[in-house]
Amino acid sequence: MSEFGRESALALLEQWTKGESLRKHGMAVSVCTEAYGVMEAARLGLTGAEAEAFAEPYACAGLLHDMDYERHPSLEEHPFVGVAHLRELGWPESVLHAILAHADYSGVGRDSHLDKALFACDELAGFLTACALVKPSKSILEVEVAGVKKKMKDKAFARAVKREDITGGAELLGVPLEEHLENCLRAMQARAEELGLVGSAVVG
Ligand SMILES: [Fe+2]
């Protein structure tokens, strides 16, 4: 296992975050962001171990981006405390940059593809989770893109989720909104079990 790979990131998330919902948020954002890493690797013509190595920082940035939020939720501390700790441990700068850039107020720009992907997936992963949890089955497997689009227009639904970050994130990535919704929904559905979002849907 790589010292700066998924398993280390997950261990850090669990060490810093005791709350189940924030842990699950990190995992959901990770799954979506990683999907963009996999797509970008393919676009660059990478395969096999090279493609995997390319996508791993995407997965890690997702897992780690709110790692310090439970202990240090203030704008002065989040995500700076977490990033300082990760830097001390030797985590790659590309991951740290993306974590800083996901916070609007950090002053760090969203420059790399990873920076953009993390930002684009953060609010959307939360929104898709909310879409699953209002289903009677509480299952992501029963969520459809059309329903997600409808709920984005319903201001009363999951009102804490900033719609403009979802649309702005898609724009930043250069992906049409519908495709962005689809990409993240499919990524979360493919790993629903791991995310605890199978609910009571009948699988198979
Ligand atoms: Fe987040």
pLDDT tens digits, 33-48: 999 999 999 999 999 9
- If you average pLDDT over residues 9-32, what whole number do you get? 97
Q: What is the mean pLDDT of residues 119-130?
A: 97
d(CA 143, CA 131): 7
**Is the pLDDT assigned to residue 1 strictly greater than 70?**
no
Ligand 1 geometric centre to CA of 123 (Å): 7
At 204 the pLDDT is 57
- Res 121: pLDDT: 98
For residue 122, report the distance from its CA to the centre of ligand 1, in Å: 5
User: Where residue 2 falls among pLDDT bands split at 50, 70, 90?
Assistant: confident
> For 149, what's the count of Cα atoms within 13 Å in the CB-facing half-sphere?
10
10 Å CB burial of residue 70 (0-12, 13-18, 19+) is middle
Q: For residue 54, report the distance from its CA to the centre of ligand 1, in Å.
A: 22
- For 137-173, the pLDDT digits (tens) are 999 999 999 999 999 999 999 999 999 999 999 999 9
Residue 25 has pLDDT above 80, yes or no: yes
Domains annotated on the chain, with CATH: 6-194 (1.10.3210)
The answer on pLDDT for 202 being more than 80 is no
| Mean pLDDT within 131-135 | 97
CA distance 75 to 97: 17
The per-residue pLDDT of the chain, averaged, comes to 96
pLDDT value at residue 201:
79
- Whole-number Å distance, alpha carbon 100 to ligand 1 midpoint, is 12
CA of 124 to the centre of ligand 1 (A): 9
> Could you report the per-residue pLDDT of 55-102, keeping only the tens digit for each?
999 999 999 999 999 999 999 999 999 999 999 999 999 999 999 999
For the cut 60, the answer to whether the pLDDT of residue 4 exceeds it is yes
The predicted model gives 164-193 an average pLDDT of 97
**Measured in angstroms, how far is the CA atom of residue 65 from the centroid of ligand 1?**
6
Q: How far apart are CA 137 and CA 197, in angstroms?
A: 10
| 203 — pLDDT class (breaks 50, 70, 90) | low
Rounded-to-integer distance, Cα 133 and Cα 143, Å: 10
